Chain A
Amino acid sequence: MNNYFRKTTSAASLAIFRIAFGLLLFGSVLRFSAKGWINELYIAPKYFFPFFGFEFVRPLGNLTYVLFAVCGLAALMVALGLYYRVASITLFLSFTYIELIDKSTYLNHYYFVSMICLIMIFLPAHVFFSLDARRNPKVHFDEIPLWSVHCIKLFVCIVYLYAGIAKINSDWLLEAQPLRIWLPAKNDLPIIGRLFNYLWVAYAFSWLGCIYDLSIPFLLLKNSTRIFAYGAVVTFHVITSILFPIGMFPYIMISTALIFFSAEFHSSIIQKLGTLLKVSTQFLHPQKQYRYPTMQVKAVLTVFVIFFVIQGAVPLRYAFYPDDLFWTEEGYRFSWRVMLMEKAGYAQFTIRDSEGKKIIADNKEFLTPLQEKMMATQPDMILQYAHILRDHYSKQGFRSPEVFVDSYVSLNGRLGKPLISPQTDLSREKESFYHKPWILPLDHEITGL
């Protein structure tokens, strides 16, 4: 074991990863801003849905632009390897803060980015081919501990494996849901579109998608299969980017998977970049090994052990909840459950008080279309919104208002039915990690992992 932790590898792998990841994130921030989403998602809404336990994360109003600027700048600095520690910590904190403002915008790939940023803080990604290394020969190395590269690989493997395991369920494999709904919607694409009219194609996509997720980590790890596997990674993510509106994610995954290539591969890229940028041979070959200071190495390794234990455990927490995961979404987030559900809903709230005051809330007065769409199918957001309404109408002269919801949700092609008990006064219910007994049962079993 000690032997393993003493092994080193070329610093080129992490350097390439750092540059690619930093630039892609920088690009993402620019894209986000260019689309006007900063205002649309984080400034314009009147109310927000913070995560349980992270209620202290508040929207920043116009300062959100500054937050994004900081995030973009930090991403660029990470790419350049400039003031790397400060930059990587800033990147993690600013990006994560943004993602914690509103649940409505939760996407697994943002969580992925956030976690990679966290890992990066602890890795010596800046010791080679960076401005830091150029400024300060003391932090200039070309060999780094092998395990530091393995951390990224392990995390990517966990993501793919859990994404694959999540697909082992009856809806995905036996019903080809939700792809049988989503694919025909794309049947007007040139050339491949007409294929989506066939049900067997939805089945083929479902099964191959599952096999892909479950096998790709192993195929990427093995030398003999890596090049095929990478071809599959590119193909898979390009196809998903054509079919689904998932923004930068495919490109982030395609770049991330480069980490699986050999040290020689990365070194040769660095060589080419070096020639392009006309840097000295000495800059590319400092011939020094990076070692964590003895005091630090134990701490860093402990951090990673804890991190990976949590990563391994969090996606399994759903097992502690009764009823169906897809329906209740208790333990659904942060688990690499990607594109598994076509869920649509409708929720209408009635607020009344003991003096006979009664009003049905006009959701658009409170929420954006995106927030309303997300809220209508997710019990924890329904509860948060009920509390928003309770507090609002208290101020409007309702005396300890009660809040009831008339909800109707359709999941993976099943006919819609009420999601929340209409008799439950949500104003009194509290958010917790316990099961919410006021979620009505689905009545259809979805079996699987």
Chain B
Amino acid sequence: MALKMNRQFVYVWFLTIFFWSCGGNGKDPSPEDNGKDRKVILTHWVDNIIVPAYGNFKTKFDAMKAKADAFTTSPTTSTLAEFRVAWVDAYIEWQKVELFEFGPADEYTLRNFFNIYPADVTGIAANLSDPSVNLDLPSSYARQGFPALDYLINEVGADEAQIISFYTTQPDAGKRVAYLKRLTDRMSALLSNVITGWPIYRETFITKTGLDIGSSFGNVVNAFVLYYERHIRSGKIGIPSGATIASAGTVNPDKVEAYYKKDVSLALAKTAHKAAMEFFNGKNVSTGAAGPSFKSYLDALEAKDVTTGTMLSKIINDQFETINTHLDGLAADLSQQVQSDNQPVVETYTSMQKLVRIIKVDMTSAMSVTITYTDNDGD
């Protein structure tokens, strides 16, 4: 293979390599290329989604906190009723921020203290007699947050009168009131930490635009996929229906979210699913308009099914919609649904599993993000 080349050719060849290597005189990216600017997306997320969503949650949470305080000050039928309503409102709104478990929320591991269920009833009973118990330990995650409140306002008595007597006339009532108050105070303090943490973290967040481990964009992708896989697919649907590993075929009606309130478990799941979908599409929490997002990024990368030409973002959105349809067919009380007719719940799980594969493999691969958490459920 004797290549005959003169100096001129080599010179040109070298220059080309050189040009290629150094990048040379690049023009400014044209507008369509801005879709690949991850800083724009990160900025949109923090300013127009994350911070306003926490703001909305805080409003609902503070309202619940006020009702909780009214109840602990004076446990009556009406303060209990108002507390319960406010608890549902706040729990629903929580579903719109639970997915932001990165940055400050990750620092304080907010989810661990707000929404680990099923509630540990025995543990709560133990804590009630010792209201000053350490609540930071992993063993105490399921003894606080919304699931513990669910138990404490819906299940500690056969009817409202008994629940009120639980906090008024029964022995240890004072300790119980103190524990209830401690739980809501604690949630309030943690939430404040996260909310005040965001403006401080903002600059770091929007400048760490890499896709590698430890960069904001990579972290968000990982948190998003993990949240959908473990906390929506498995937690809300898979485990109760017995479709996942941990439950291996048997239904677990007692493991639904808001088990004691009963009729809101589906609403919570739907809200969380919708929040994930809206985050995927970059929906501005204040204006409702779509903005820079996973979707716009995937579109800018022209990620698509090469066989059909369908955009990957459309495939993902279609799957979100399919799941919506499945969720629409379920009863408001998922624990009742898995016992009476589990099949639709299993089908919902299957359609969610399909989405997990797409976002975990196709989406991350198209974006060149490494999934850093290991597989599966069971924690």
Contact = CB atoms under 8 A, between A and B. Distances in A.
Given A192-B26, A408-B361, A235 B18 contact: yes
B368 A372 contact: no
Interface in A200-215: 204-205, 208, 212, 215
Interface string B337-367: 0000000000000000000011011101111
Given A235-B21, A359-B245, A362-B378, A184 B368 contact: yes
B22 interface: yes
B26 A208 contact: no
Contacts of B159: none
A192 B36 contact: no
A353 interface: no
Interface residues of B, number: 59
B21 A236 contact: yes
A431 interface: no
Contacts of B3: 215, 218
Contact of A344 (B7, B18, B364): B364
A188 B377 CA distance: 34
Interface in B270-316: 301-303, 305-307, 312, 315
Contacts of B358: 416
Contacts of B39: 188
Nearest to B245: A360
A372 B375 contact: yes
A413 B28 CA distance: 26
A410 B36 contact: no
A181 B361 contact: no
A185 B211 contact: yes
B377 to A, nearest CB: 7
Given A197-B36, A219-B10, A232 B17 contact: yes
Interface string B175-193: 0000000000000000000
Interface in A47-88: none
Interface in B25-52: 26, 28-29, 33, 36-39
B368 A346 contact: no
B153 to A, nearest CB: 35
Contacts of B377: 362
- The interface centre, meaning the residue of A231, A245, A343, A415 with most chain B CB atoms within 10 A of its CB, is A415
Interface string A171-186: 0000000000110110
Given A362-B245, A372-B375, A218 B36 contact: no
Contacts of B28: 194
Contact of A415 (B209, B248, B305): B305
B312 A415 contact: yes
Nearest to A245: B212
A192 B307 CA distance: 32
A364 B305 CA distance: 30
A342 B22 contact: no
A265 interface: no
Given A219-B10, A363-B376, A191 B23 contact: yes
A257 B244 CA distance: 54
A440 to B, nearest CB: 15
A413 B303 contact: yes
A210 to B, nearest CB: 12
B375 A188 contact: no
B214 interface: no
Contacts of A343: 365
B20 A197 contact: no
A192 B20 CA distance: 10
Interface string A403-415: 0000011100111
A392 B163 CA distance: 49
Contact of A208 (B17, B209, B210, B306): B17
Interface of B: 1, 3, 5, 7, 10-11, 13-14, 16-18, 20-23, 26, 28-29, 33, 36-39, 209-212, 244-245, 248-249, 301-303, 305-307, 312, 315, 357-358, 360-362, 364-378
Interface of A: 181-182, 184-185, 187-188, 191-192, 194-195, 197-199, 204-205, 208, 212, 215, 218-219, 222, 224-225, 228, 231-232, 235-236, 238-239, 245, 342-346, 348, 358-360, 362-364, 367, 369, 372-373, 408-410, 413-416, 444
Given A348-B375, A362-B378, A409-B361, 7 more contacts: A184-B301, A188-B210, A231-B14, A344-B365, A369-B373, A410-B366, A413-B303
